[in-house]
Structure 1
């Protein structure tokens, strides 16, 4: 392959992945240092208070606890099913003949070789496969939580609130990672139609992430969060 046939692929796609990685490292730093500025930091505080509030009066709130955990579980199951279905479709495309892939290759602005197309499918397949893995692990932790959170009061000392909170924290983190891998897979999926479209999608996706991941000034005032709050 000559450089002019694939220079867009080897520049725009790694650049899109790099800015995606930098953004999430910066987001993680903000969650750790200024949790009140991010949705994830506020949700983490809510999860810490939710478990003790539920188990304090579990006989009256057991249905609320089960339904809340079930709703989280349904979201993870749906995303896991979606990821594995995409993997099945990509597996069928990878194993298909050149005659099936040729019409798509001819429409791509970028590298057009069979090896490059197979490499695209393999990378996208791996991304969605890891998304399925993280969502599956999240479902496993939520299943444990769903059982343990409803233990009666006379045996609740066998399962501490810290353990239940840790299960919910792990399940939430795995679910978030799985979701972000799915979104990254969406950007890579558009790579099939060319690196320019894929890179444009990654930039738009990061702008949307920034909008939904951080709490606006007006929303902070409505929540009663002080401007200088840098809680740990």
Structure 2
């Protein structure tokens, strides 16, 4: 009898989580091996160019750099605050004496006992706590970047420090953006798991739809990729022609 209550939760929820994990493993592999086929890889390359430009022309672009980083930090702060509020709400539900399983007994497929409800809420709470953790780390790195990006003449190293270069600032910026992305993806997974309260079937279909939407947003279509490569080739050929004429 217990297995009849738990089998949907034991199959569909781990399957949904594995679907999400496998998608992000594949996305990470594509970012490393073929970065320009993904928006993450293209944006990463653009951010490195942006950091170098901000440092190179610091006297003119220092305000622009600080404002841009401030906007990113505000977004990460908003997400971290939302995670804290959700964690507080879930903790209040867990510590409450009110039992929510009674009105859901006839509406939920899968387990809906006291122990099952506790597992569901603790899993969701853990996901949001980790999301808050990654957003907090992201804010830390981005605040450091906001300081370092305004050091004039960073590459010549007037201070004599061989480690403090524009490449170091770019690496810190990439770490901050990466942690922010991980926090956002955990936040999305937490929202899907919140549907677990109403049964594992909703979790599975929610994650399936989310993976399809993310795959559409994360990857560049082949036609767009070919068009970008064609534009790059035209620019290279024109540069070569101009160089030959000189």
Are positions 1:199 and 2:204 aligned together? yes
Mapped partners of 1:96, 1:84: distance in 2: 18
Alignment counterpart, residue 178 of structure 1, candidates 171, 180, 183:
183
| Aligned partners of 1:106 and 1:112 also within 8 Å | no
Alignment counterpart, residue 164 of structure 1, candidates 166, 169, 182:
169
Aligned to 1:93: 93
| Aligned partners of 2:192 and 2:203 also within 8 Å | yes
Which runs of 5 or more residues in structure 2 are unaligned? 233-246
Aligned to 1:211: 216
Aligned to 1:135: 135
| Aligned partners of 2:31 and 2:38 also within 8 Å | yes
Mapped partners of 2:154, 2:53: distance in 1: 17
Q: 1:126, CA displacement in angstroms?
A: 0.3
Deviation per CA, 1:143-198, whole angstroms, max 9, x where unpaired? 11111111233897243101111110110110111011001111111101110011
Kindly report which structure 2 residues correspond to 1:69-88, keeping only aligned pairs within 5 A, or say none.
69-88=69-88
| Aligned partners of 2:139 and 2:176 also within 8 Å | yes
Aligned to 2:54: 54
Task: Say how many residue pairs are matched.
Answer: 227
| Aligned partners of 2:131 and 2:184 also within 8 Å | yes
TM-score, normalised to structure 1's length? Answer: 0.92
| Aligned partners of 2:30 and 2:37 also within 8 Å | yes
When residues 154 and 145 of structure 1 are mapped into structure 2, their CA distance, relative to the original with a 3 A threshold, is: closer
Aligned to 1:38: 38
Aligned to 1:230: none
Aligned to 2:5: 5
Are positions 1:220 and 2:225 aligned together? yes
Q: 1:217, CA displacement in angstroms?
A: 2.5
Mapped partners of 1:39, 1:21: distance in 2: 19
Deviation per CA, 1:107-153, whole angstroms, max 9, x where unpaired? 32210110110110000000000000000000000111111111233
Q: 1:50, CA displacement in angstroms?
A: 1.3
Deviation larger for 123-132 or 210-219: 210-219
Mapped partners of 1:134, 1:61: distance in 2: 29
Q: 1:225, CA displacement in angstroms?
A: 6.1
Q: 1:219, CA displacement in angstroms?
A: 2.7
Mapped partners of 2:200, 2:139: distance in 1: 34
Q: CA RMSD in A?
A: 1.9
Which runs of 5 or more residues in structure 1 are unaligned? 228-232
Larger radius of gyration: 2
TM-score, normalised to structure 2's length? Answer: 0.87
| Aligned partners of 1:98 and 1:114 also within 8 Å | no
Q: 1:51, CA displacement in angstroms?
A: 1.2
